[in-house]
Amino acid sequence: MSQRQVLQGNYIIAKAALAAGCNFFAGYPITPSSEIAQYMSKEMPKINRAFIQMEDEIASLGACIGASLAGKKSMTATSGPGFSLMQEHLGLAAMAEVPVVIVNVMRGGPSTGMPTKPSQSDIMQTRWGTHGDHPIIALYPAFSDEIFMETIRAFNLAEKFWNPVVLLLDEVLGKAHEDIEIPEPGSYEVFQAAPNQIENLNIYDRNMGENPPRVDFFQGYPIHIDGLEHDSHGWPSFEPKTVDKMQRLRMEKIFHNLDEIIAFKEYEVDDADILLFSFGVSARSALAAVQLAREQGIKVGLFQALTIWPFPRAALQKRMKKSKKVLTIEMNLGQAKYEVERIAPCDVECRTLLRANGVPFNPSEVLQAIKEM
Amino acid sequence: MEKEEQRANEEALERRKARKPSPKANKLTLVPLYCKGCGLCVHICPTGTLQLVDAPKNKWGISVVAEAENYCIACKMCEYQCPDFAIFVNYEQDKNEGAK
Amino acid sequence: MRDYEKYIRYRTFPTPWCPGCGDGVILKSIAMAFSELKLDPNEIIVVAGIGCSGRMPTYFNTNTLHTTHGRALTFATGIKLARPEKLVVVISGDGDALAIGGNHLIHAARRNIGIKMILINNGIYGMTGGQVSPMTPPKFITETTPYGNIEPQFHVTELLIASRATFVARETVNRLLPLKQVIKKSFQHPGFSVVEVMSNCHINLGRRNKMKHPLTMTKYIEENTLKKEDYEKLSFEERGQKFPVGTFVEDLDRLEYSDLYYNHIVPLAKQSQQGGKS
């Protein structure tokens, strides 16, 4: 029997993480994500799982990567300033192919910004924040049931693709109390990689597009894991052919498997002339505006991205064949709009509705923007 | 050979002159592939058994030989000191250079 | 085959360190300590930061992890809390542990998490070409202090004592047998242990300061370190730039962090779940 509760967004993430098997949490308090750490500190010792509050965000992600390499499913939660600090270790997780889930409850930025106001301005940083070529998976739920399922999916994708996964959420949704029907355990898939998969020291060896076996310590093989560029054994190597192959392997394991990673929701898009593209709390306003506009006879639909990175290019391009006007709605001064413009064919008109002053969009404002298209 | 290395050699010779050959025969195994000729073992050997020599074929141009193996008293300080695992005292078997 | 050789990865030899570098001597001491304690290589993990000392894990035939600059202790904390029964060794240089990583050193000591740290102090940033570090002696010439170093050194041992560390020791690369003994003792200590090893970087520090051979630089270290008992007898002026060696703190009473967590906090939490509302 599934339970219906009224829960804060942050608590939904924490409950979903425990349901997904998260057994290591290292965090640092920051508004608006401290509740996740607080819930974990209370619940994890009850079921013999590890929780620790570290001395800063850099240490938090470091401890999570260390625990992941020792065989745990680890998670940390932060916001803008902490996420900026974590970039170096995010790069290490991408380079050493370590699964870890990082929750970024976005607040007004840059710098200290507006700790108690929402914004959607970390989207480009999530993709490109750390230096070097690296793939990133970023999930972005909007409704309370999506918050639960996307957290579970974040852990599954991290375990499957051996990459850090960023779970984005808006401050206002992290703090709001909403009703949610918690699904029964067993009604959703929790992916657990098979243990003891290493057979020799050639830990990263695989074909282009495949995922490596579970690479973690204490399996009986003296393996070496490094942030330096390495060959398939993990030994540091700068030999050009080896480096080229390893870099492409890391990118292709994500880009070869987009069908499994990309998720989105479409509302009334089949006959839409105008397409709204949005995510997070802006998507909720956009959905209400779509319903208002349809009542007035305007043919408009909503494409809500649940996976923001890798960008849902193919699916959006498919809709752009019918809808020749696209309106990107985001609470920043223009970030996802660059991706939309980049993938749009020449005959599609791309417009934006942007605002970054901490006030989410009212459906009537979105309706006004639709009418101006 | 630098003057510090020559001085290390001379001091080792002086230590050797003040002693007699060791009553028990001890075997020193050197690994020329790993030896970088730093001279730390020459300096620490209490009986002056080891000496630095020029070795043009060695990557560092200098290496260590056990010039007076009969003076070795198997104190093993050279083995404890060597940073490159290039010297062993009374090793049980022949050492293959560059073994895995 | 010597027993300590089973802890070494020979496939990567010869080592990249300069001839006579103290890092090689410490590598051997640690391998000998593992061997004398009869440890299983699968039960050990060696974590290091960046720098010449950070290349050391590549040569250990155990689980090894090479992390970012200054943050090795954070990864080790995660590993120790995830697998408390394993031996977690952290190897760090003076720039890695005291400059960028100083904060993590304080908190690892304060928590008393069961990590065994070997802090290799050679007074310079060697790998990047010889820049000044927090432990470079005053007035020395380095790449970033071409007119002389105007910053003083400090005693890490005192910082660790203030951070409530439970095992603090200092040794040098000249004193081989005491070095191996203290490393062995630190591995057997249950809580957080730090062994600071004064080492020589004759190529990057010594060469610019008239000590370009390992033998002259190790002589400099010998002249500037003395036993703890003798150091305490000196007056303040006589102490100057010298460092005492020995074991400064050995506290066996304080409980280790993962021990406290799994054997005190977890039962407490389980009790509260049965007693009251969850």
Interface predicted TM-score (ipTM) = 0.94
User: A3-182: which CATH number, 3.40.50.150, 3.40.50.970, 3.30.420.40, 1.20.1420.20?
Assistant: 3.40.50.970
Among C28, C213, C218, beta carbon nearest to B85: C28
Mean pLDDT of chain A: 94
Look at residue A2 in the predicted model and tell me its pLDDT: 66
Residue C13: which pLDDT band, with cuts at 50, 70 and 90?
A: confident
Burial class (CB in 10 A: 0-12, 13-18, 19+), B93: exposed
- Each domain of chain A, given as residue ranges in start order, spans 3-182, 265-372
Contact: C24, B91; criterion CB under 8 Å = no
Distance from CA of A29 to the nearest CA of C (A): 16
Q: What is residue B1's predicted lDDT score, i.e. its pLDDT? A: 78
pLDDT at C236 over 90: no
- What's the longest Cα–Cα distance across chain A? 67
Which of A100-104, B73-77, C195-199 has the weakest average pLDDT? B73-77
pLDDT digits (tens, 9 = 90+) for C123-152: 999 999 999 999 999 999 999 999 999 999
Per the CB < 8 A criterion, the answer to whether C115 and C101 are in contact is: no
Q: Which residues of C are less than 8 Å from B36 in CB distance?
A: 14, 18-20
Q: How many contacts does A have with C, using Cβ atoms within 8 A? A: 128
Q: Which residues of C213-230 are buried (b: 16+ CB within 10 A; e: fewer)?
A: bbbebbbbbeeebbeeee
CATH number of domain containing B62: 3.30.70.20
CB pairs under 8 A between B and C: 69
Question: Are the beta carbons of C45 and A217 separated by less than 8 Å?
Answer: yes
CA distance B88 to chain C (A): 9
Chain B neighbors of C27, CB-CB under 8 A = 83
Q: What is the pLDDT of residue A198?
A: 81
Whole-number pLDDT of residue C237: 87
Percent of chain A with pLDDT over 90: 89
Query: What does the pLDDT read at residue A196?
Result: 74
* A40: nearest CA partner in chain C: C269
Query: A66, C75: Cβ pair inside 8 Å?
Result: yes
Tokens 């803008």 identify what position?
Answer: A80
Question: If contacts are CB pairs under 8 Å, which of residues 311-350 in chain A contact chain C?
Answer: none
What confidence score (pLDDT) does residue A273 get? 94
Q: What value does the mean pLDDT take over residues A117-141? A: 96
Beta strands in chain C (DSSP E): 44-48, 63-66, 87-93, 115-121, 167-172, 193-198, 225-227, 243-250
Report the residue from A63, A72, A228 with minimal CB separation from C77: A63
> Is residue A144 predicted with pLDDT exceeding 90?
yes
**Cα C182 to chain center, whole Å?**
12
Given A50, A68, A223, which is nearest C63 (Cβ)?
A: A223
β-partners of residue A103 are A77, A167
- C17/B contact by beta carbon, under 8 A: yes
Chain C residues whose CB is inside 8 A of the A67 CB are: 78-79, 81-82
pLDDT at A194: 80
pLDDT in tens, A235-270: 999 999 999 999 999 999 999 999 999 999 999 999
pLDDT at A227 over 70: yes
Does A220 contact chain C (CB < 8 Å)?
Answer: yes
Question: Which of A177-181, A194-198, A203-207 is modeled with the greatest confidence?
Answer: A177-181
Q: In terms of DSSP bridges, do strands B28-30 and B87-89 run parallel, antiparallel, or are they unpaired? A: antiparallel
> Which pLDDT band holds residue A228 (cuts at 50, 70, 90)?
very high
- Average confidence (pLDDT) over A25-54: 95
**Cα dihedral C200→C205→C211→C212 (10° resolution):** 90
| The pLDDT of residue C276 | 54
> Tell me, what's the pLDDT at B95?
56
Query: Are chains B and C touching, using the cut-off of 8 Å on CB pairs and a minimum of 3 such pairs?
Result: yes
**Chain C residues whose beta carbon lies within 8 Å of the beta carbon of residue A45:** 261, 265-266, 268-270
The larger pLDDT score, comparing residue A46 to residue C240, is at: A46
Amino acid B72: pLDDT? 92
CB A13 within 8 A of CB A179: no
pLDDT higher than threshold 50 for residue A232: yes
With a cut of 80, say whether residue C275 has pLDDT above it.
no
Structural domain containing residue B19:
3-89
Q: Do C78 and A65 touch (CB under 8 A)?
A: yes
For chain B, list residues whose CB is within 8 angstroms of any CB belonging to chain C: 2, 4-5, 8, 33-34, 36-40, 43, 60, 77, 80-85, 88, 91-93, 98-100
Overall size of chain B counted in residues: 100
Q: Answer whether A130's CB lies under 8 Å from A90's CB.
A: yes
Tally of CB atoms within 10 A around C62:
26
pLDDT at C4: 92
pLDDT of residue B94: 52
pLDDT tens sequence across B78-100: 999 999 999 999 887 655 544 43
| Residue A206, burial from CB neighbour count under 10 angstroms (0-12, 13-18, 19+) | middle
Contact state of C65 with A64 under an 8 Å Cβ cutoff: no
Contacts of B34 in chain C (CB under 8 A): 13-14
Q: Do chains A and C touch (3 or more CB pairs under 8 A)?
A: yes
Q: Name the class of domain C3-275.
A: alpha beta
User: Number of structural domains, chain B?
Assistant: 1
Lowest mean pLDDT segment, chosen from A207-211, B83-87, C142-146, C274-278: C274-278
Q: Do B36 and C216 touch (CB under 8 A)?
A: no
Question: What average pLDDT is seen over chain C?
Answer: 93
Contact C74 A62 (CB under 8 A): yes
Does residue B96 form part of some domain? no
Instruction: From chain A, pick out residues whose CB is under 8 angstroms from the CB of C43.
Output: 218
> Quick count: other Cβ atoms within 10 Å of Cβ A77?
33
Whether B94 maps to a domain, the answer reads: no
CA pair distance C86, A323, nearest whole angstrom: 59
Q: Which residues of C touch B2 (CB under 8 A)?
A: 213
- Are C182 and C196 spatial neighbours (Cβ–Cβ below 8 Å)? no
What is the pLDDT, as a whole number, of residue A1?
57
pLDDT tens-digit readout, C47-69 = 999 999 999 999 999 999 999 99
- The CATH architecture assigned to A265-372 reads 3-Layer(aba) Sandwich (3.40)
